[in-house]
Each structure stands twice: as C-alpha cells, then as structure tokens.
Amino acid sequence: MNILIMGAAGSGKGTMAAKIIADYDIPHISSGNMFRAAINAQTELGKIAQTYMDRGNLVPDELTIAMVKERLSQPDCQKGYLLDGFPRTLKQAEAFEDIAKQIGRPVEAVFNLTVHLEDLKQRVIGRRICETCGAIYNTVGSAPKVSGICDLCGSPLVHRSDDTVEQLGNRLHEHMVLTQPVLDFYREKALVHNVDASRKPELVYSDIYSILRLLR
C-alpha cells in the first residue's frame, strides 16, 4: 500500500502514521524525521536544513527530494510506503510522480487531515517527542505516565524549538500557500480523502482504516 498523509503541524500525522504502519507493515517515511536525524548528526545537509527549521520555514524542495529519493531506494519500501509531510509543494509532487514510476509504486491514497486552528495551537504547544523511538505525546490529553519520560523506551522527551505559537503561524501560512496546489494535483487523480482530525485519535483512524480496506 502506497500512502501519503498530509495536514498542518499538529494535525496528528505522526499519530495516524504509527497506526497505519502497524497494520500494513510498511515504513513511515517522514521528511521531518530524516532532516532531524541529519541535524543531530551535524551533516552538511543537516546544517543547511536546521537554518530553515529554526525559523519555522520549510526546507527547500531540492534538499527534501534528494533525501526522499534515497530513502525510497531501500529494501523495506518494496511492500509500500507511508509518506508523512511529503510532498509539500507542487514541484515536489511532480518530482515524486517520476520517482514513484521509477520504483513501480504509484500513490494509492492521500489522506488530508483537517483540524481547527485553536486545536492546532493547543496541540503544538503541548507536543512532546521522543527522539529515540519517535513516540509522540501531548501535555493535554495524551501525557506520558512520568512527566518528560517516554513510556515506551524511557528516554527524555523534547519540546521542539519550532513548536511555538509564533512558529506555528509561519508554518500554517506556508502550508496553506504551498500545500493547496499539491492537494489539487492529487484531487485531479481522485486520490484525496479528507478526514476530520479534530476528533479523538481512535475515531480519526477508524475513518482512515475503513477507506484503506476498500482500496485493498
């Protein structure tokens, strides 16, 4: 199954992605996580990406496309993939169309998660992430059992530098301007499924799972 999941920062893409990959045994490919790994390793690509992410801006297309292409060439993508946060621009979508054809894995479904602005603010401010295992928590509604500690692996949780109301405003603006053409691109192919992600995670995933079952 070849899936794209889209939505603004705080819409729950990571949470839904974790559920999808557990059910379908496909890799979760997040451009954000790939760039954060490069930043932590202080690679040249990571240093460049950090300058954009620290300002709350999106990483340029060329950097993102190069990293995703490399990732898709790995053996664990043979059964399919779940792309989270990519493509973000029309240029990326068009480039990915060529990549998907090359590997014989065309996109089969695009899930667009929609959330009200006030809900997004609360989610972003309270979000805490485990950089060791990737688990996502929130101080409101889904807090860890021990404050600041991951339930799954015991590692410290972090509050990302770009998870602020100010940075959210920048990211939402860029998301609206850049992502709408991407959604239009996939709507023309009848691949987009809008999902109300303001609800509880189990209800959101119930909708996603029902759609995926129809596509299998």
88: annotated active-site residue? yes
Residue 142 falls within a domain, yes or no? no
How many domains does one find in the chain? 1
* Containing structural domain, residue 47: 2-117+165-215
Residue 140 falls within a domain, yes or no? no
Residue 75 falls within a domain, yes or no? yes
CATH number for the domain that contains residue 30: 3.40.50.300
160: annotated active-site residue? yes
Which CA distances in Å does 183 have to 53, 88, 137, 187, 213?
23, 9, 28, 6, 22
128: annotated active-site residue? no
Residue 22 falls within a domain, yes or no? yes
Residue 155 falls within a domain, yes or no? no
91: annotated active-site residue? no
Write down the catalytic residue from 36, 71, 88, 128.
88
Write down the catalytic residue from 19, 105, 121, 160.
160
**Per residue of the chain (216 residues), what is the pLDDT tens digit?**
999 999 887 788 888 998 999 999 999 988 777 777 778 888 777 888 888 878 888 778 888 887 777 778 778 888 899 998 789 889 899 999 988 888 888 999 999 998 877 777 777 778 899 989 888 888 877 889 999 999 999 999 998 877 776 776 676 767 777 788 999 999 999 999 999 998 888 999 999 999 999 987
Report the predicted TM-score, pTM, of the whole model to 2 decimal places. 0.73
55: annotated active-site residue? no
Residue 159 falls within a domain, yes or no? no
